[in-house]
């Protein structure tokens, strides 16, 4: 079939909307009519580093149009979101750590295990990022990337649950698992950091300290659950945070900034758990800090098993405890390059591209 898609052709900041060929779903795949797809910093990174033809987008929501013959858990008409792909067969998947799946890198590049892809242009393969490719009118996705959601919810909101939101909330709820009433600091309040703040409120952390250099983001952080804010450009953030609570038992970094990681190191209480997803920046604890029981871990995907964790987040959302919609900013499909620019420039927290045209609103 033919589909409209925003195609990345070479290292550039420009996506080109054009028609591609999309194969029918194989026995373990589904065909989804895309409703919306979030823009993530990973899309920007791929755009600037990959030279092959790709359809980006890995935070999609949509409606299943057709299912492969081997699928019993999904059906046509189901409302779904997409998330990272996992094989279900390797040791990590069998032990429930799907985020460590052996095939993660191949599926990140958009390839099936046999090296093929469902998309093409004039017979040449086009790869859908993470075997999703959400910036297209339709997607063919592997069944493990597809999570059914409650059809009473507004599908336009739900795509970002599958990456940025899951990563931030999962880092707190799945990894840090904080005790109620204990202090936490979150460094960087983009989509991932703000999701961590909402999760820290669900967990009952107190205080919840948000650190960022953008005042508008700190204002939103307070609306979503932060009890205190620190300006990330403050020369002595550690001193400021210590004046609030002495030190923290939990810390989460999304900035990768050496200035902020240095501040984080200074505020960790003995026994504190810290984690982060910042590309590049990691906290290297010394021997003495480790003896004091301090720890650091990188929590890509928030250690989330998407079909288990996303429905849990939606239960919090329905109860009014996880208002992630406050982070979203919508763009029409033909405004996709503006949505990417807004993400690059951090002028909005989470751009979401509506794939169904202007009539949809």
Interface ranges with Zn ion (CB under 5 A): 40, 42, 86-87, 90, 93, 101, 163
Query: Angle, nearest 10°, between helix axes 215-224 and 191-203?
Result: 30
Closer to Zn ion by Cβ: residue 42 or 337: 42
Q: What are phi and psi of 6, to 5 degrees?
A: -95, 115
Least distance in angstroms from the C-beta of 95 to Zn ion: 10
Least distance in angstroms from the C-beta of 94 to Zn ion: 8
Closer to Zn ion by Cβ: residue 44 or 285: 44
**Residues in Cβ contact with 304 at an 8 Å cutoff, skipping those fewer than 6 apart:** 83, 99, 166, 167, 170, 174, 310
Least distance in angstroms from the C-beta of 91 to Zn ion: 8
**What's the rounded Cα separation, in Å, for the pair 41 and 231?**
22
Closer to Zn ion by Cβ: residue 273 or 301: 301
Closer to Zn ion by Cβ: residue 59 or 78: 59
Closer to Zn ion by Cβ: residue 219 or 300: 300
Would you list the DSSP string of 13-72? S--EEEEEEEPPP-TTEEEEEEEEEE--HHHHHHHHH--S-EE---SEEEEEEEE-TT--
Query: Angle, nearest 10°, between helix axes 258-267 and 237-245?
Result: 30
Least distance in angstroms from the C-beta of 90 to Zn ion: 3
- The β-bridge relationship of strands 350-354 and 328-332 is parallel
Least distance in angstroms from the C-beta of 286 to Zn ion: 32
């Amino acid at each position: 079939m033919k589909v409209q898609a925003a195609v990345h052709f070479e290292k550039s900041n420009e996506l080109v909307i054009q028609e591609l060929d999309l194969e029918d779903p194989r026995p373990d795949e589904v065909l989804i009519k895309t409703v919306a797809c979030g823009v993530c910093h990973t899309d920007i990174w791929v755009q600037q580093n990959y030279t092959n033809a790709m359809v980006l987008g890995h935070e999609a929501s949509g409606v299943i149009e057709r299912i492969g013959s081997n699928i019993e858990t999904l059906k046509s008409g189901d409302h779904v979101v997409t998330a990272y792909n996992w094989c279900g067969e390797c040791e990590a998947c069998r032990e429930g750590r799907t985020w460590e799946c052996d095939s993660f890198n191949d599926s990140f590049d958009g390839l099936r295990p046999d090296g093929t892809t469902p998309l093409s242009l004039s017979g040449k393969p086009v790869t859908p990022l993470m075997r999703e490719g959400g910036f297209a009118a339709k997607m063919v996705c592997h069944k493990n990337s597809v999570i059914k959601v409650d059809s009473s919810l507004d599908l336009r909101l739900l795509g970002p649950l599958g990456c940025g939101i899951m990563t931030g909330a999962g880092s707190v709820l799945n990894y840090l698992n904080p005790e109620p009433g204990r202090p936490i600091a979150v460094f960087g309040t983009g989509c991932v950091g703000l999701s961590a703040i909402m999760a820290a409120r669900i967990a009952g952390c107190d205080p919840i300290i948000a650190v960022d250099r953008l005042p508008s983001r700190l204002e939103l952080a307070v609306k979503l659950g932060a009890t205190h804010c620190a300006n990330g450009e403050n020369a002595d953030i550690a001193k400021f945070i210590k004046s609030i609570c002495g030190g923290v038992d939990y810390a989460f970094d999304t900035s990768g900034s050496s200035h902020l990681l240095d501040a984080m190191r200074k505020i960790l209480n003995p026994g504190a758990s810290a984690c982060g997803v910042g590309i590049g920046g990691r906290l290297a604890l010394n021997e003495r800090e480790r003896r004091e029981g301090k720890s650091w871990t990188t929590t890509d995907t928030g250690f989330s098993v998407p079909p288990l964790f996303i429905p849990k987040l939606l239960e919090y959302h329905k109860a009014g405890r996880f208002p992630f919609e406050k982070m979203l900013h919508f763009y029409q499909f033909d405004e996709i390059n503006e949505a990417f620019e807004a993400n690059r420039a951090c002028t909005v927290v989470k751009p979401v591209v509506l794939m169904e045209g202007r009539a949809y609103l």
